[in-house]
Structure 1
């Protein structure tokens, strides 16, 4: 992944939310990258029960998601300037150009955030008939307060529908995705995850989350929602591959696919020392996640990512 050194990345919506000690899992509602339970609390992952990986807010079942399904400004959006971009954050204050993104992973994150916003600001109205209300990306350490409740690092990266924001502890990628789940790593791993979580934001704006009724199983609505977010990540990757902001190569695509493989439900069950049990899946198998990412990458269309209409996942 390479960035155009002259590109202006200052408007990327990323801020550091700081963090605090302690804290448990989310009180409810976040759409998370799967993570084996207990990895931050000590001990290995063998024999540890998997976290409940997907929760739809109980009050949202069959109804409208708070803050979602119809655009409008995100409730928790930063108010630092007229466009709602917080430029006072010290961690990201020096991230101005693509040259900065080449040298600093924080600035690379800001550039990716800008690329995601620019892509969906064009694509969502054109293909979905809905204007984009941009999502804020928040980094944190330890724990953070969100519209879904307090979240600790143990939940992994997630999207919170009530405040329409994305949260991630950046140590996840080394500590869990590589060390615990055996992913190969690389500079496009985090962009793939951010693309997936931004995909959940698009689902929120389109009202797709309201379609979730069944929450476990290989053909469940929960799995369809997660695979669609992977497909949306593939759509963005296709556009970012040779854009004015960045360029990608085949190695980046392979890193995204390897990451999708690493967070497949079957892979996590195996790494947790359990047998593969499709009835417990909430995000889809490694094969499904890779396949739907490639569907978005190859076709670049929302309609191609309609996992809810697919007869076979």
Structure 2
């Protein structure tokens, strides 16, 4: 899920909220989460993904823009997965202009996009908030973040996360934050691998990081996505490495995923 207008958001974690287990869950020990082959498979290969034109408050141009980014993501991760001998299937994208139920659940109050693992598809809410100023990197990273959840799904991390035991709401929310921050890092890794093909400057990236720092759980009060500074830190970490290797949030100290 990605939250709007300032911050990034989540895969479907509703199964977790039902309380699937009661045992103590710390530290995270599931090797699917902590030692996944994804972390050992090198960098995403540099490639090209020139951005399409997009107009303010224009849904058709937004659809073309976001679909073109998805196509780049599918191409890039397909090549990466083949080289690393990881499972792969393309993700799909859909668009809505008003919130509605998706993947069996209500649309969140601050949600801009959300991924459904069962469908291998994510929906993006093309509303006035999202399309008011579409020229910054938020939309690009929006798709990259949701694709991060797709990668988690393909590598079985999403399932491991959904079924991992927890004891109490506080512990559950930390696990959700680890999952969300990992998707943010994976999105950053993709953007970093394509950066040289984008008609962007370092100031554009710094602006996205500054916007991210001013968002997060401080804004939504949900406690399930991380403080703005931590979201920005994982985003930038993935971007600079252009590799999933740095995106193991499951073994990170609690302070880094608060």
Per-residue displacement from partner, 1:32-75 (whole Å, max 9, x unpaired)? 22359xxxxxxxxxxxxxxx99733258958xxxxxxxxxxxxx
Which residue of 206, 210, 228 corresponds with 1:286?
Answer: 228
Per-residue displacement from partner, 1:209-229 (whole Å, max 9, x unpaired)? 223544646981111101101
Flag the 1:234–1:53 CA change in 2: closer, same or farther, 3 A: closer
Contact 1:234 1:293 in 2 (8 A): yes
Structure 2: stretches of 5+ with no match in the other structure: 22-48, 55-60
Counterpart position of 1:121: 78
Counterpart position of 2:185: 231
Flag the 1:232–1:172 CA change in 2: closer, same or farther, 3 A: farther
Structure 1: stretches of 5+ with no match in the other structure: 1-31, 37-51, 63-96, 179-183, 270-279
Counterpart position of 2:38: none
Distance in 2, matches of 1:126 and 1:259, equals: 35
Counterpart position of 1:3: none
Counterpart position of 2:161: 211
Q: CA deviation at 1:124?
A: 3.1
Distance in 2, matches of 1:137 and 1:169, equals: 11
**SS of structure 1 residue aligned to 2:14:** coil
Distance in 2, matches of 1:240 and 1:125, equals: 18
CA RMSD of aligned residues (A): 3.4
Distance in 1, matches of 2:204 and 2:230, equals: 19
Per-residue displacement from partner, 1:220-270 (whole Å, max 9, x unpaired)? 111110110110011011111124xx443223312432443344112333x
Per-residue displacement from partner, 1:275-301 (whole Å, max 9, x unpaired)? xxxxx5111100100000011011122
Contact 1:235 1:297 in 2 (8 A): yes
Which residue of 248, 251, 255 corresponds with 2:203?
Answer: 251
Distance in 2, matches of 1:299 and 1:134, equals: 24
Counterpart position of 1:132: 88
TM-score (norm: length of structure 2): 0.69
Flag the 1:311–1:151 CA change in 2: closer, same or farther, 3 A: closer
Higher relative contact order (CA 8 A, sep 6+): 2
Contact 1:216 1:223 in 2 (8 A): no
Counterpart position of 2:242: 300
**SS of structure 2 residue aligned to 1:137:** strand
TM-score (norm: length of structure 1): 0.58
Counterpart position of 1:277: none
Distance in 2, matches of 1:102 and 1:35, equals: 21
Counterpart position of 1:166: 122
Matching of residue 102 in structure 1 with residue 102 in structure 2: no
Number of residue pairs the alignment of both structures matches? 212
**Comparing both structures, which one devotes a greater share of its residues to helix?**
2
> Which structure 2 residues correspond to residues 45-60 of structure 1 after superposition, within 5 A?
55-58=13-16
Contact 1:54 1:282 in 2 (8 A): no
Per-residue displacement from partner, 1:158-196 (whole Å, max 9, x unpaired)? 111221111011216448xx8xxxxx8633111111111
Contact 2:63 2:95 in 1 (8 A): no
Distance in 2, matches of 1:152 and 1:170, equals: 14
